[in-house]
A and B are shown apart, each in its own frame.
Chain A
Amino acid sequence: MDEDYEAVSACQKGDVDAFEPLVEKYQKKMLNVVYRMTGDYEEACEIVQEAFLSAYRAIKKFRGEARFATWLYGITVNHARNRIKQTQSRLRHEIPSLDDPVETEDGQLTRDPPSGEAPIEEQLERKEMQMKVQECINGLEEEYREVLVLRDIQGFSYEEIHDILKIPDGTVKSRLFRARDAMKHCLKRVMGDL
């Protein structure tokens, strides 16, 4: 039985508060999936909120064919895809500015509550490296990016990815291997040597 069955059933009966533990439980993973797909923390937060709202609106239609988590991640990925398409469409019609902030984890660091600790050199290097990795992820084609994020970053099984993206297992694997090769080439390019 779905581990979220009780909470989902309560929500389906109109208990709004029963949705809160589900938000608590899945928000982080959803946020990380979206953040790695978009590379923008603020945007990722908005997308995840929208995804939760969509899930709540549609929760009465959830019949339990898949796990609730899978169903929820599917909604999340769809929202992320749509937002990325909107952003790409907007960017095509706008002249890129050199002053535009680069959305990296550096930006996310400034949004984090100040830790009070002075950033050490290792942390800076690590963050810089992660920024480059994210840049390479951002450079992947969308279908490769989704699979890479779900499999290599979030650790979903092939079966879960198949349920979330509604694509065959073979397609998942082939996309994943292509994504990894692309990442390897990209990282070699941006980091000099692996």
Chain B
Amino acid sequence: MTRCDETQEMLNAFLEGLLSQDEKRRVLEHLGTCQHCRAALEELKRAAQLVQGLDDVEPPPWFTQKVMSRVRQEAERKERNLLSRLFYPLHVKVPIQALASVLIVVLALYVYRSVEPEMKMVQTPPKAAHEDLAISKSEAQQQYDKAGAGAPSAGSRSVPEQRRDKATGTMGEAPRTGVAGIQEKEGATPPAGTAAEPSKPEQKGAAADRQAQEMKAAAPPPIQGESPQAQKAPPKVLARGEAESRVSVETQENAKEARSGFSPQPAGKAGQSSAKKAEVAGFRLHVNDVTTATGEIRELLGELGARGITAESRDRAVVITGELAARQMDELSRRLKLLGRLEEKEAQPSSTEGPVPISIEVSNRP
């Protein structure tokens, strides 16, 4: 490398003042003797002057406004994007829609399942009646005759019991004075020997058959064994002895109370036909829904083999009457307790066999 080349390479640094003292001295010594390198230095200075002397350009007058306009649009777009990210973008929207669909289906199933039992309850009574109608009359007659054979004789009952029987037989039927009402009363409280009325809509043939067999048996089987539903009942079911202890012996006061609660029996054919003296097992049940409970009780009575089931509306209550085998009383009491708050206002008959008139007053909880 010649001295000129070396010097010219250092000229930029020399102009910038970046050379060491030694380098600077050598460059200066060479420049003092070399016209060519001095010219190169001058050209370099001139070029730098030309570059540095370039005029500045001014931004257009609208420039700031235009930039800020775009910046503000950007800021608004950011806000919109934030909102749209929350609600509209596809990657969020699709899962939300799917989740919503699943929730709707689950909710629909839940509502359907929660309403289904109530719908069944509402539909049950007509269904039961329909089934009852389907039973052949002769079979019903036969079963009822069998059951009635084991009934205690009416003559063995006391006078108050006879009055009670009359009252029970006309529960809630005070306004009725016509023949139809009388006929219904006859059906509701059939005499032991002649009660095989073919028009017992609530009686189930199978239940009657079972009851008849039980009547024939010397010792009744355990209650739990009689009804499949009883086995499925919650473990809160009271023991038989306990249930019995809750049923007080019927007194005359109770009988009077019952009469005052029920309408007096009109004079006529019905009074004559219900000459049988019978103890009446009375229950008062407080429930949340009288209609549903009535349906369930009717079903229960049918299941337990009750006969002559009638239901009459009185004020805000429904009175269900019928005849039930005495041995089934415990089960009836236990099952009624499952439906609501039960008051056993009438004593359980002392006899453990034969049909016993029952009355269940179903009313709303106070």
Contact = CB atoms under 8 A, between A and B. Distances in A.
Interface residues of B, number: 32
A29 to B, nearest CB: 9
B59 A27 contact: yes
Nearest to A188: B43
Interface of A: 14, 16, 19-20, 23-24, 27-28, 31-32, 35-36, 41, 44-45, 48-49, 52-53, 56-57, 105, 108, 111-113, 126, 129-130, 133-134, 137, 148, 152-153, 173, 176-177, 180-181, 183-184, 187-188, 194
A14 B76 CA distance: 11
B54 A27 contact: no
B43 A194 contact: yes
Contacts of B46: 184, 187, 194
Nearest to A52: B67
B22 interface: no
Given A24-B64, A27-B59, A180 B71 contact: no
Contacts of B13: 173, 177
Given A152-B52, A176-B12, A184 B43 contact: yes
B59 A28 contact: yes
B57 A32 contact: yes
Given A129-B50, A133-B50, A176-B12, A31 B59 contact: yes
A52 B18 CA distance: 35
Contact of B68 (A23, A130, A194): A23
Given A23-B64, A45-B63, A133-B50, A52 B57 contact: no
B50 A28 contact: no
Given A57-B74, A152-B51, A177 B59 contact: no
B59 A20 contact: no
Query: What are the nearest 5 A-B pairs in CB distance?
Result: A177-B12, A184-B47, A194-B46, A194-B43, A152-B51
Nearest to B39: A194
Contacts of B68: 16, 19-20, 23
Contact of B71 (A19, A113, A148, A183): A19
Contacts of B67: 23, 27, 48-49, 52-53
Contact of B51 (A32, A45, A49, A133): A133
Nearest to B40: A184
6 contacts: A16-B72, A19-B71, A23-B67, A105-B57, A180-B44, A183-B50
Contacts of B48: 152, 180
Contacts of A129: 50
B256 interface: no
Residue from B54, B63, B66, B68 whose CB has the most chain A CB atoms within 10 Å? B54
B47 A45 contact: no
B34 to A, nearest CB: 17
Nearest to B75: A16
A56 B74 contact: yes
A92 B334 CA distance: 100
